[in-house]
């Protein structure tokens, strides 16, 4: 059984993951508007991943006999100045998500909710990857942003993301 405090916090994270999905979907459309169709695909895949994160947490709430509460999703930004701007935003956002996951992990530990600790361990590891990926792509963009041909190749490369 989920304790009330844990349930409320996990439901809040479901909403945060859906908001992340919404944010990356918005970036995807904006990249398409700017003609970066590889970045478009990359952010669309990212949006799907975030949707699955929401479902993973919601599934855990249900498995623990809790009620999933889907709240309204707040508005997201609609345009970025460049792919670099979008990835700077991505890295900042992922750092915030990491903090949220760590807060949940601490709460689950305090409450001795070991099933939730186990679920959150997956998210702790996932966040290490998310931050690393965003940092790597941002570093690549910073090296080549003034070179249109190189940006074209990076866009193509990122479009190959499964």
Q: Which residues bind Mg ion (CB under 5 A)?
A: 17, 50, 53
Instruction: Choose among 99, 74, 90, 80: nearest CA to 42.
Output: 90
CB of residue 110 to Mg ion, shortest distance in Å = 23
Count of positions (residues) in the chain: 162
Query: Based on CB atoms, which residue is closest to Mg ion, 33 or 106?
Result: 106
User: Distance between CA atoms of 3 and 66, rounded to whole angstroms?
Assistant: 9
Phi, psi angle pair for 73, to nearest 5°: -100, 130
Cβ-count burial of 58 within 10 angstroms (0-12 exposed, 13-18 middle, 19+ buried)?
buried
Query: Based on CB atoms, which residue is closest to Mg ion, 40 or 50?
Result: 50
CB of residue 58 to Mg ion, shortest distance in Å = 13
Query: Based on CB atoms, which residue is closest to Mg ion, 53 or 60?
Result: 53
User: Distance between CA atoms of 82 and 108, rounded to whole angstroms?
Assistant: 39
CB of residue 94 to Mg ion, shortest distance in Å = 8
User: Distance between CA atoms of 130 and 119, rounded to whole angstroms?
Assistant: 17
Query: Based on CB atoms, which residue is closest to Mg ion, 137 or 151?
Result: 137
CB of residue 47 to Mg ion, shortest distance in Å = 10
Residue nearest to Mg ion (CB): 53
CB of residue 153 to Mg ion, shortest distance in Å = 28
Q: Contact, 4 vs 16, CB < 8 A?
A: no
Q: Contact, 134 vs 84, CB < 8 A?
A: no
């Amino acid at each position: 059984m989920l304790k009330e405090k844990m349930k409320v916090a996990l439901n809040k994270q479901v909403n945060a993951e859906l908001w992340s999905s919404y944010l990356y979907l918005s970036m995807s459309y904006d990249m398409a508007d700017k003609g970066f169709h590889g970045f478009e695909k990359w952010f669309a895949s990212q949006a799907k991943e975030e949707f699955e994160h929401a479902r993973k947490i919601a599934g855990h709430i249900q498995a623990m006999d809790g009620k999933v509460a889907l709240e309204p999703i707040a508005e997201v930004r609609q345009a970025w100045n460049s792919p670099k701007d979008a990835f700077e935003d991505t890295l900042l956002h992922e750092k915030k998500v990491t903090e949220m996951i760590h807060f949940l992990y601490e709460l689950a530990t305090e409450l001795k909710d070991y099933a939730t600790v186990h679920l959150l361990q997956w998210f702790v590891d996932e966040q290490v990857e998310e931050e690393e990926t965003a940092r790597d792509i941002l570093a690549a963009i910073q090296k080549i942003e003034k070179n249109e041909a190189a940006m074209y190749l990076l866009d193509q490369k990122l479009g190959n993301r499964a």
